[in-house]
Amino acid sequence: MRSIVLFAALSTASMLVSHAQAQDAAAGEKVFAKCKACHVADEDKNKIGPSLHGLIGRTAGTHEGFKYSPAMVAAGAGGLVWDEAHLKDYLHDPKAKVPGTKMAFPGLKSDDDIANVVAYLKQFTP
């Protein structure tokens, strides 16, 4: 009996986590609307800013075909790789994370919005 109760509890928790992740990505898509003037995430195509398709795990300043600022290239050469932690920090205040970046966007102030955008972008990393 205890095994059945434990299994049911774990199954329910697992479904809730999966549902919460899906909601975060959906909310992130709405927040990402602020980014769409310069970026795309669902395809490998540069616009005013670089494509964000496959961003997670990419070294900063290295997407082929995009002319980055010297500051972003230097950040990548210095070891900046776009993982969740670095991306969240950057999205909060891009100019503080990479002084000299060409990105004009001032950043997202809400931690929830940032987490949701990261969840959205993770969908497009193979």
Per-residue pLDDT for the chain (126 aa), expressed as one digit of tens each?
555 544 444 444 444 444 444 559 999 999 999 999 999 999 999 999 999 999 999 999 999 999 999 999 999 999 999 999 999 999 999 999 999 999 999 999 999 999 999 999 999 998
pTM score? 0.80
CA distance 98 to 39: 18
Tokens of 71: 């500051």
Domains of the chain: 2-122 (1.10.760.10)
Query: What sections of 33-124 are H helices per DSSP?
Result: 70-77, 84-92, 94-97, 111-122
